Amino acid sequence: MNSFYKKYFYKSCLVIFLLLSDLTYAQESPPIVDFRQSEGFGAVFNENGEPFRDRVQINRVLIATQVNDPFDPNKLIWYQMPFDVIFQACSSEGGEYLYLISYRLSDTFDFDPLFNEEPYCQSSLSDFSHAQTFGMDEGSNWLRVQDSRRYSEIIVEDIFGSQPSIVTTRINMAFEFNLGALIFEKRWEEDMADEIPPPTDFPEQITILLDWGEQTQDLDVHLTGPDPGAIGSYNNEPERFHIYFANKENNVATLDTGEFSDTKPEKVNIFPPPDQAFLREGIYRLTVHYFNGNSTIADSGVTVQLLIGNKPEQVFIPPHAEIDPYGPMDIWVVFELHITNDGMVTVVPIQNTNSGINPSEVH
C-alpha cells in the first residue's frame, strides 16, 4: 500500500472515534468493529508508574469502514485497520460500562485522547489492574474480561476479638460494544473463588524491546539480575549480573543491539538456566541509559515493550523530570521483575530517572 493510500486509509478509519454517529451511519453500510482477534490487559500505568485500576487497554481492534475510492470517487470500497484503544470503567445504577477515552493506530506509540477532557464517570466497583481481555466467538462486538477483582471488608472473630479483614473476589465479565455510543455494556458476570489460586501458566521466556524516536541518538538497555556466586566488579554488584552493550550474554539472558551502537530496537531475552524448567529466581531490573544525543530521555520518543510469555505486551514510557537538558549519561529505571522459585513473574514499575551515570555504574 503506497503512502497516499495509507494516509487516506488512516484518516477514513478515524471517523469511528469521533462520536459523530449520525455521520457514521449516513454511509451505505455502518462501520464494522471486530474484537474477535483482540487481546488486552488492565495494567495501564500513569506517568509515575502507578496502575490505573479503572483502565483497560485493548490491542488490535479491527475497524472496517466504507470510503470513496481515491481512484474512482463514485465507488465505495471497504478499508480495515487495526487500532489499540483504552477504555475507562464506570459504574451506574444500570450496571458497569467501559467508555472509550483514547486510541492509536496499532504498532505506533502515542495514544490520542478522544476528548479534550475525560467525561465525568462514577468510579467502578471493580479493579481491572490485573485483568486480561479477549474477543469472543459469540460475536465480533463481544469482549471477555477475565480476573477483574472486587474488595470487601468483613469482620473476623478470633481469640484476639473482632478483626477487620479484606476479602478479594475474582470476577469474569462479558461486555457488548455499542458502536453508536462507543461504550461497552456489561451483559453478565461470574464470581470465581474468593482466594486467588497460584498461576499455572509460567513463561518460558521474557522479551524486552527498547525503541526510540527518529532523531539521531544512542540509547542503551541495561538488565541486571541474580547471579549466585558472582564476584563484584567494576560493572556488576556481587551475586548479580549486568547485561549491556559491553557484556551481551550469560546463561539466563542475551542482548541483541544490532550491527551498530545506535541501532534500534535493542532486544533482551530472559530464559531459564540450562537444564531448568523455570526462570531463575530473584529480582531483575531494567534500566535505559541515554549514552549520546541532543535531547532528553523524556523527549527522545523512547519506549520499552515487555512481553512475558504469551501474555499481552506492556508498554512503558519515561516520566517527565527535571534533568540535564542535554541528556547524555542520564538513566531511566523502568521496572523490576520479581521472579519466584516456581517461575511466577510479578512486574513492579519503578519509573525513576537520574543524571550523570556512566554505563558501568548502572546496577
Same domain assignment for residues 87 and 157: yes
User: How far, rounded to the nearest angstrom, does the alpha carbon of residue 212 sit from its chain's CA centroid?
Assistant: 16
Same domain assignment for residues 231 and 344: yes
Same domain assignment for residues 12 and 152: yes
Cell numbers 469472543 label which residue? 136
The mean per-residue pLDDT over the stretch 170-181 comes to 87
216 backbone dihedrals φ, ψ, rounded to 5°:
-70, 120
Task: Using the predicted structure, report yes or no on whether residue 158 has a pLDDT greater than 60.
Answer: no
The mean per-residue pLDDT over the stretch 153-181 comes to 76
Same domain assignment for residues 91 and 216: no
pLDDT at 237: 92
pLDDT at 163: 67
> 12-16, 35-39, 169-173, 268-272: which has the minimum mean pLDDT?
12-16
Given 168, 191, 214, the domain boundary residue is: 191
**238 pLDDT band (50/70/90 cuts)?**
very high
**58 pLDDT band (50/70/90 cuts)?**
very high
211 vs 312, residue with greater confidence: 211
Task: Using the predicted structure, report yes or no on whether residue 208 has a pLDDT greater than 90.
Answer: yes
Percent over 70 (pLDDT), the chain: 79
CA dihedral 105, 15, 111, 148 (to 10 degrees): -90
For residue 165, the surrounding DSSP H or E stretch is: strand 161-178
Same domain assignment for residues 231 and 182: no
163 vs 339, residue with greater confidence: 339
pLDDT at 41: 86
Q: Which residues contact 297 (CB under 8 A, 6 or more apart)?
A: 219, 288, 290, 318, 323, 327, 330, 331, 332, 353
Same domain assignment for residues 271 and 338: yes
The mean per-residue pLDDT over the stretch 19-36 comes to 58
Task: Using the predicted structure, report yes or no on whether residue 117 has a pLDDT greater than 70.
Answer: yes
pLDDT at 346: 85
The mean per-residue pLDDT over the stretch 119-144 comes to 85
In contact, 348 and 50? CB cutoff 8 Å: no
In a domain, 281, yes or no: yes
Question: 154 in helix, strand or coil?
Answer: strand
Same domain assignment for residues 211 and 257: yes
In a domain, 197, yes or no: no
In eight-state DSSP terms, residue 1 is: -
In a domain, 144, yes or no: yes
Residues 127, 141: Cα–Cα separation, whole Å: 23
Q: Helices marked H in the chain — which ranges? A: 3-13, 21-25
pLDDT at 228: 92
In a domain, 126, yes or no: yes
pTM: 0.50
In a domain, 168, yes or no: yes
pLDDT at 76: 80
Given 162, 191, 220, the domain boundary residue is: 191
43 vs 348, residue with greater confidence: 348
> 35-49, 131-145, 213-227, 339-353: which has the minimum mean pLDDT?
35-49
Task: Using the predicted structure, report yes or no on whether residue 282 has a pLDDT greater than 80.
Answer: yes
Number of domains observed in the structure of the chain:
2
In a domain, 201, yes or no: no
Residues 111, 103: Cα–Cα separation, whole Å: 5
Residues 264, 277: Cα–Cα separation, whole Å: 31
The mean per-residue pLDDT over the stretch 255-280 comes to 82
Residues 312, 203: Cα–Cα separation, whole Å: 12
The mean per-residue pLDDT over the stretch 49-69 comes to 83
The mean per-residue pLDDT over the stretch 37-56 comes to 79
> 21-30, 31-40, 128-137: which has the minimum mean pLDDT?
21-30
Task: Using the predicted structure, report yes or no on whether residue 144 has a pLDDT greater than 50.
Answer: yes
Name the average pLDDT for the chain: 79
Q: How many CB atoms lie within 10 A of CB 17?
A: 16
pLDDT at 263: 65
List the CATH number of the domain containing 296.
2.60.60.30
Same domain assignment for residues 254 and 337: yes
Same domain assignment for residues 16 and 48: yes
Same domain assignment for residues 224 and 176: no
Task: Using the predicted structure, report yes or no on whether residue 197 has a pLDDT greater than 50.
Answer: no
Cell numbers 541515554 label which residue? 290
Same domain assignment for residues 186 and 295: no
pLDDT at 25: 41
Which grid cell is 335? 521496572
Question: 18 in helix, strand or coil?
Answer: helix
**13 pLDDT band (50/70/90 cuts)?**
very low
Same domain assignment for residues 131 and 217: no
In a domain, 81, yes or no: yes
In a domain, 199, yes or no: no
Residue 353 domain boundaries = 206-361
Q: Across-strand partners of 123?
A: 90
Given 130, 160, 191, the domain boundary residue is: 191
In eight-state DSSP terms, residue 17 is: G
